[in-house]
Structures are given as structure tokens and as C-alpha cells.
Structure 1
């Protein structure tokens, strides 16, 4: 039996369930959120604790996590809510819809010509990404945190490729002309 706990068993279970429920819907709890919540409980229901201003420290948090081994620290990858809601079936249905459109327009044969299959994608790189550990179920191999709103400034790059794999020489001359025009 270890040292006396400062929260009841019921309070610890409620905190554990809160952590897991928030993580399950993509809004994980950060370690400081747990410490803030415990501080609020200890202030609301005055108890004797060794904590300064009733705020538990990192050691308490680590002992709490050790008692509740299903919770672990992970680095979260931020994704927008719209992106988090996309499913594999929705993507497959979109491609089926495009193919049906091409069949109806009597031009499905363009899918056999690599020059007619193009991919365009943009990627954004945050200049100041929000990172840090979050708490979630240990068995989760990858963890994504859904962003609540617009994120910080970022740089965006747009790339386009064709399925026939044209030689880079063509691109190089076009790229150099573009650079001369823009700078």
C-alpha cells in the first residue's frame, strides 16, 4: 500500500474517464489540464495536501499515470475537424462518382492515358506549430488532435504531377523562366 491519496477513488476514476473520453473524440487533455482540474477539486473541497496552492506537481501526475496504465503520453498531430471526419468509404465513393461521370460523358478511356491523369496537392507548413504531450489511451498508435479554429501562419506549397512521368528537363526550363519573372 502506497502513500495516502489526495483524491477519492471515485474522483480518480472520473478524471481517468474524462481523459479517455476527450481523447476518443479528438480533443485530448494536456498534462497541465489535469493538474488544473485537480487543483480546482482540491480548492473546492478543502483538503490538506503538500501541494503549493493545492496544485499537484509533475511527480503526482506521473504517479497518477502509473496507477492508470491505460493512459499514456503521446505527441498529437493537429488536423482540422473537416479532415478528421473524412472516411475511406467517402473517398472511395468520390472516385466511383468521378468514374461514373466519365462513363456518362463517354470519355472513361482518358483513365488509360497517363498524360490525362494528373495529381495536384498542396501542403502547408506551420511557421509556429503547436506541439506537446497529450494524454490518451496507450494502445493508440497514432494520435491526432482536432484543431478548434484557424491555426497560426503557414507557408503553402502547391505541387502537380502527371501519371506519365515527364522528364524533369521540361520542368527545369519552365521553372527557371518563372524564377526570373518573379524576382
Structure 2
């Protein structure tokens, strides 16, 4: 559960390898690895605390970009910019943008994580699949700008 909280959730195979390593000297399983019956029993024993959920891949560089220091620096610079540009009472001139990436990689991997964990993710070195980005922008008064969609390639066919 702690590993999943940290972004390193284990799937069934990784859990079996962990147990194999732990029990190697004590009570080896058939072929040296726990079988399907053991993993099913494990999940039943821990059903009040663990769930298998679909994990979203999260590149390592994105996890490092969201440290406490980075966020404090961002909000300090944002506050200075708002004061410098005198935007405190001009919500029509204050916009927020957000983007979402739609990946062509549709593989689903379920990991074991704490029951009730809202957004399980698995840290990966990088993603090699194509990503289409959708950017949404809205003012503080609720006025939306047109969507911006970024496709891979020079031409949209």
C-alpha cells in the first residue's frame, strides 16, 4: 500500500516475486514462486485494505516537477506577477489553462493499492506512445476560449 501511495504500485507478478524473494529460504513454493491460488487467497485476506485498480502511467520527470519547493516557487512568482500587473480586481483579464494528454497506448495494468485510493498511478521511465494534447483556457469570470488540440505531425489528415 505504501509503494502504491508513492507511485510504485505492484502488479500481481511483482507481488509474487517479492514474496518469492522473502520466502526463498523459509518455504519455497512450486517452481520457487507463489501460484494463482496463493495470490487469490492473498487478495481475499487483504480485501478490506487492498484493491486491484487500473494504473495510469506517470513519467518520472512529472513526479519530480511537483515537489513542495517547485510549487512554492510557482505560487511566489504568480503572486508577484498578479501584483506587478495589478490584476487583483480584474477577473476578466485573469485566465487559467489546463491540458490533458490522450495517449494511443491503451494497455491496462491493474496494480494493488490502498482501498479507496482515488487515482492510482505507476511511475514509468518515459512514455513511447503518441500523445494528443487538448488545452482548455477559461477566465476567472467563466469565459472560455476555443479548445486547442495539438496533434502529432505537420498535417492533420
5 Å-filtered alignment, 1:56-71, equals 56-69=34-47, 70-71=49-50
Q: CA deviation at 1:39?
A: 5.2
8 Å Cα contact 2:82/2:88 also seen in 1: no
Q: Which residue, out of 66, 69, 78, partners 2:57?
A: 78
8 Å Cα contact 1:129/1:152 also seen in 2: no
Say whether 1:25 aligns with 2:6: yes
* Structure with the largest fraction of helix: 1
Kindly tell me: are residues 55 and 157 of structure 1, through their superposed partners in 2, closer, same or farther at Cα, counting changes over 3 Å? same
8 Å Cα contact 1:80/1:147 also seen in 2: yes
Describe the SS at the equivalent of 1:159.
strand
Q: CA deviation at 1:118?
A: 1.9
Q: CA deviation at 1:146?
A: 2.0
* Structure with the largest fraction of strand: 2
5 Å-filtered alignment, 1:22-171, equals 22-38=3-19, 45=25, 51=30, 53-69=31-47, 70-85=49-64, 86=66, 91=71, 94-103=74-83, 105=84, 107-108=85-86, 110-138=87-115, 140-166=117-143
Cα distance between partner residues in 1 of 2:26 and 2:80: 67
The residue that corresponds to 2:149 in the other structure is none
Kindly tell me: are residues 72 and 164 of structure 1, through their superposed partners in 2, closer, same or farther at Cα, counting changes over 3 Å? closer
Kindly tell me: are residues 24 and 121 of structure 1, through their superposed partners in 2, closer, same or farther at Cα, counting changes over 3 Å? closer
Cα distance between partner residues in 2 of 1:164 and 1:54: 62
The residue that corresponds to 2:152 in the other structure is none
Q: CA deviation at 1:31?
A: 0.2
Q: CA deviation at 1:29?
A: 0.9
8 Å Cα contact 2:96/2:137 also seen in 1: yes
Kindly tell me: are residues 48 and 55 of structure 1, through their superposed partners in 2, closer, same or farther at Cα, counting changes over 3 Å? closer
Once the two structures are superposed, residues 61-85 of structure 1 have per-residue CA deviations (whole angstroms, 9 ceiling, x without a partner) of: 0112333453332222333334445
